[in-house]
Structure 1
Amino acid sequence: MSLSNRFLLLGSTAAFATIGAAHAADLPVKKAEPVEYVRVCTTHGVAFFYIPGTDTCLRISGRTRFEGNYQTNYSRQTGTGDTSGYRGLLRFNFDARTRTEYGTLRALVRLDAGSRTGLIHSGTQLRIGHSYAATGVDEAGRAQQHVNVDKAFIQFGGLTAGRAASYFDFYAHDFEIYGATSGSDTSSTNLLAYTATIGNGFSTTLSLEDPVYRRTPVFAPYATTATTPVGPVFVGYADGLPSLYGTIDSIQRSRLPDFVGALRVEQDWGTAQLSAATHEINVGNLSTAPAEGTGGVITGIAHTHSVQGWAVQGGVKVNAPFIALGDALYLQGAYGDGTQNYVGYCMIAGCYAQANTGFGGQKFAQYFADASINPFTGQLQTSTSFSAVASYLHYWSPEWRSTLFGSYGEQDFSAGARLAQGAAYSLVSPNGAVAFGANAVGVPGTRFYRLSQALRDSYQYVVGASLIWSPVRDLDIGVEGFYTQVGVKSGRVIDSDKSPTAYTNVAAINAGTFVPRTATQDSVSQIRLRVQRDF
């Protein structure tokens, strides 16, 4: 190709390129949508980000945990014999906050779920509907799935509404792995509360809280049938003489919320709180079907009036940076009348039960009933309880820390309450021939009455320690061990482990032909391992 032809080809190509560019410039150009990247929100702390398209900041966090447990056990009676157990736990937190002209609007949701096997299974969680258990012959009751809406509340100004921790609580096992000590620890309840800030670190709270999560069943010694109420035999009078009339429906009704008040101070030296609560005990009516012998005019039948139980608690947390950075000491004490769950006496054995055994093969049950119904007057007779706890956290280094903790508690029933139940029992079964099981009080003055476990005043104490290693941030690898002793405050009780048939041989015990084994106390040691990652 000649040089002139080459110049002609290049010129033609350039012309076409210019024309193409001119036409392209006339076409409409669609702009790309702007990319809205997630923006960091620093207004409410670390790890918050703006939800795209809103002015709400959100933090997503969670937890995973493994636990293994071992405890001493000396029995292979039915339902006991486990010495080990395991648990896996997951948790998701969603914390949403928005700045408003009235202050911060906050919503927090926390979901917990877990899988428990062997020794780590909870009758407490089953009773309040937080767990469901396996039914297979080799897994029955010893494999559980646990699901709980642990938190779901709204905060706006001083208002808190939803599912949150009770404002009565203070220590709430803050430094413990298992949570073995006595003391109130209701981390999930439904409430409506208002907190007013006074100044200089002081605040006061009034909270209306769900009474269901603070109930302990009213003492009900005699079960009737699955379709009729469960409660104590009520004694009316026929022709001027005591006569068995029927039972009282001891299932509690919901009428009033629990009223909780707290005065709190938080300053550099630490935190202190004074709490108080009222709790209504409100049972049903006398059944209409007489039990026997009503061949006369029944008189003296009194309606069971509700009563208001109450509880008070005081606690202090003292920071001790002069010993080591992060060190702190908790001291807490509580007293209650008809409010055992606020005192937290049931923590190691398991709450929401009339009576319970906290470890396999326990020789006798502790009774946690907030009240009993006098079978002659029909009126509630409340129990009293108290607890005291101390816990000290010490940092040996930034990676190593340990806790030393202990508690002591008691629960008492009036002598009149137990005597009245025994008098009613004497009408039901004068010689003990009718077996009413472990809840039977017995006929006053008999050997069985002196040895039966029902409505016996009891005590318990716990001592323990833990050691936790945190090699990196938000990872804990720890072990905790503790010793628990429970006992009756006076006299002796039947050892249900060594004499499992005693409560079906009442007449033989009173006649002296059957001498059951007895005990004054029982104890257990436990060790728990935990590996936990927060993120």
Structure 2
Amino acid sequence: MKLFKGMMLGAAAVATATTAQAADLPVAPEPVDYVRICDAYGARFFYIPGTETCLRVGGRVRADYGISDFGNSGPNSWDSKADNSLRFRARGYIRLDARTQTEFGLLRTYTDVWFTSNNSNFGSAGGNTELWDAFVQLGGFTFGRTGSFFDYWTGESWGSRIGQGLDSRANLAAYTATFGNGLSASLSLESNTGERSPSTYIGGYSRGGFRYPALVANVNVVQGWGGAQLMGVVKANRASTAPVDSETAWAIGASARFNLPMLGSNTGLGLRAVYADGAIGYIHEAYGSYDATLNAAGTGLSNSTGWGVAAGITHYWTPTIYTAVQGQYWDIDTLNTANDLSAWSAHATLGWTPVSGLVIGTEFEYKDEDFGAGGVDNQDMTVTFRVQRTF
């Protein structure tokens, strides 16, 4: 009996100790759904915890290595000792895209920031930060900084050194009305500054302060075959000198990009034509062209006029190897013959995408600028090797 009681007491002691040890063990927390996938706006969006806002975080890293100054004349000739012929660049991008459905329609905010390190003559020397995009959209309204509503097809090639067309940013306020079947129309008030408005006019007169925004309008269609746009802009050329009157400037254009699946997957053709009176920066990324010239009487500005055309095609030879070829021509007439300009440029790109998001390739670019009597002609030739990953 004593033996039995001893065994029972021992078992009770062991059970008590085991229970105490089990009570000391950490308890696994209940699973919490901290991040939920949001598939309403495409891939890679997720819900910000505690909200109904969907966020996509992305970016890009790019490394460019260029050699240039093969031209026969002008500041970009091989004989020039002032220019760096080797051009190295590293650039990082951060992109944030946040979207929320509201009773007023889709609320979207988008930010794209660039961080760049260059050696001189490949953009600005050293490092710089550029706010490429920062805008808010609600319903059909757009407020902030983004691409001009004048621009549509911005080119097939990289344009790593020599600009291939129209891809300018502007601070703006715009409204877009949609009519179904991919048809829309937009009206945009845009900052009348930056690369599309030179700081001086011919004759040494500085540009005056802007009193009115540039007014941009377009009609746009996007369908299965591709897309197209008709666009126009009105702005003012205004000199800082008191007796010089202002001059109204304008430009009109048409642009399209056609999908060509009969030639291969992802094959496309882009076209653009623009005419301008005093708004030369809307023909091409301006290359220092002047919008206006002081007239002979010294009392007003005489607008420069010009036109430009461009075409380009991208073709995938295999799912991972593609080429892009593009050319453009533009012609500018001014009151000062030395600033008249006839120019053309050509681009050829070869790219390899061994894995999704990664591009390795090279680009050849050539530009020829012929100025009027008394002007200095210029040629530029560049070869660039690029490694880029987008995520």
Same-fold status (TM-score > 0.5): yes
Alpha-carbon deviation of 1:37? Answer: 2.6
Contact 1:86 1:119 survives alignment (8 Å): no
- Which residue of the other structure, out of 515, 518, 526, is the alignment partner of 2:382? 526
Query: What residue number does 1:352 align with?
Result: none
Q: List runs of 5+ in structure 1 lacking aligned partners.
A: 25-29, 123-142, 223-230, 232-249, 287-302, 350-354, 356-367, 419-453, 496-520
Q: Does 1:493 align with 2:374?
A: yes
Q: Note the C-alpha offset of 1:261.
A: 0.5
In structure 2, what is the equivalent of residue 91 of structure 1?
93
Query: Would you say the 8 A contact 1:181–1:407 is kept in 2?
Result: no
> Does the residue aligned with 2:123 lie in a helix, a strand or coil?
coil
- Offset at 1:465? 1.0
- The CA deviation string for residues 222-249 of structure 1, in whole angstroms up to 9 with x for no partner, is 5xxxxxxxx3xxxxxxxxxxxxxxxxxx
**1:34 Cα deviation after fit:** 5.6
How much has 1:529 moved relative to structure 2? Answer: 1.0
- Distance, in Å, in 2 between the alignment partners of 1:173 and 1:6 is 96
Alignment correspondent of 2:131: 149
Matched, 1:63 2:60: yes
**What do residues 175-220 of structure 1 show as CA deviations (whole Å, max 9, x unaligned)?**
334263553220x221111111112211111111111123113325
Of 201, 208, 214, the match for 2:182: 201
Q: Which residue among 10, 13, 17 is the counterpart of 2:7?
A: 10
Q: 1:253 aligns with which of 209, 229, 234?
A: 209
Q: Is the 8 A contact 2:269 2:314 kept in 1?
A: yes
Letter in 2 for 1:459: S
Question: What is residue 264 of structure 1 aligned with on the other side?
Answer: 220
Q: Please state if 1:483 is matched with 2:366.
A: yes
C-alpha displacement at 1:375, in angstroms? 6.0
Q: CA deviation at 1:35?
A: 2.6
Contact 1:84 / 1:118 at 8 angstroms: preserved in 2?
Answer: no
Whether the 8 Å CA contact 1:216–1:340 is kept in 2: the answer is: no
Pick one of 234, 240, 247 that aligns with 1:284: 240
Aligned counterparts of 2:116 and 2:360: Cα–Cα separation in 1: 19
Measure how far apart 1:168 and its partner are: 0.5
| DSSP 3-state at the match of 2:339 | coil
The CA distance in 2 between the partners of 1:31 and 1:323, in whole Å, is 58
Q: 2:154 and 2:265 mapped to 1: Cα distance?
A: 22
Match of 2:74 in 1: none
Kindly tell me: are residues 484 and 377 of structure 1, through their superposed partners in 2, closer, same or farther at Cα, counting changes over 3 Å? Answer: closer
Distance in 2 (CA, whole Å) between partners of 1:494 and 1:190 is 34
- For the pair 1:343 / 2:324, whether they are aligned, the reply is no
Deviation at residue 457 of structure 1 after TM alignment: 1.1
Q: Counterpart in 1 of 2:24?
A: none
- Determine the C-alpha separation between the residues in 1 that align with 2:30 and 2:191: 51
Q: CA deviation at 1:380?
A: 1.4
**Amino acid of the structure 2 residue aligned with 1:149:** L
- Is 1:319 the counterpart of 2:259? The answer is yes
Residue type at the aligned position of 1:475: L
Instruction: Give the Cα separation in 1 of the matches to 2:140 and 2:364.
Output: 40
Q: 1:380 to 1:42 in 2, by over 3 A?
A: same
Structure 2, unaligned stretches of length 5 or more? 22-26, 71-76
Q: Where do residues 361-376 of structure 1 align in structure 2 (5 Å cutoff)?
A: 368-374=289-295, 376=297
The alpha carbon displacement at 1:52 in A equals 0.8
Tell me the amino acid that sits aligned with residue 49 of structure 2: P
Q: Which one has a bigger Cα radius of gyration?
A: 1
Task: State the alpha-carbon separation in 2 of the partners of residues 326 and 473 from structure 1.
Answer: 15
Q: Please give the alpha-carbon distance, in whole angstroms, between the structure 2 residues aligned to 1:22 and 1:462.
A: 83
Report what 1:225 is aligned to: none
* Distance change >3 Å, CA 272–CA 494, structure 1 → 2: closer
Q: 1:326 to 1:477 in 2, by over 3 A?
A: same
Match for 1:189 among 170, 173, 176? 170
Contact 2:156/2:325 (8 A) holds in 1? no
Letter in 2 for 1:312: I
Call closer, same or farther: CA 1:322–1:179 in 2, change over 3 Å: farther
Query: What secondary structure sits across from 1:11 in the alignment?
Result: helix
Q: Is the 8 A contact 2:141 2:175 kept in 1?
A: yes
- Are the equivalent residues in 1 in contact too, given 2:338–2:374 (CA < 8 A)? no
SS of 1:322's equivalent? helix
Which one-letter code corresponds to 2:390 in the other structure? D
Measured in 1, the distance between the counterparts of 2:20 and 2:94 equals 57
Q: Distance in 2 between matches of 1:67 and 1:263?
A: 36
- Tell me if the contact between 2:198 and 2:207 (Cα under 8 Å) persists in the aligned partners: no
1:233-269 residue CA offsets vs partner (Å, 9 max, x unmatched):
xxxxxxxxxxxxxxxxx23212111111010111111
1:334 maps to 274
Q: State the shift of 1:523 in Å.
A: 2.2
Q: Determine whether 1:167 maps to 2:124.
A: no
The Cα of 1:101 is off from its aligned counterpart by 2.7
Deviation string for 1:70-108 (max 9, x for gaps)? 11133335xx24211100010011111112233221111
> Identity of counterpart residues, as a percentage?
31
Determine if contact 2:156/2:270 at 8 Å carries over to the other structure: no
Aligned 8 A contact 2:156 2:326 in 1? no
Mapped contact 2:369–2:378 kept (Cα < 8 A): yes
Instruction: Mark the CA change 1:18 to 1:74 in structure 2 (over 3 Å): closer, same or farther.
Output: closer
Structure 1 pair 408–323 and aligned structure 2 pair: CA distance change class (3 A): same
The total of aligned residue pairs comes to 381
Alpha-carbon deviation of 1:383?
0.6
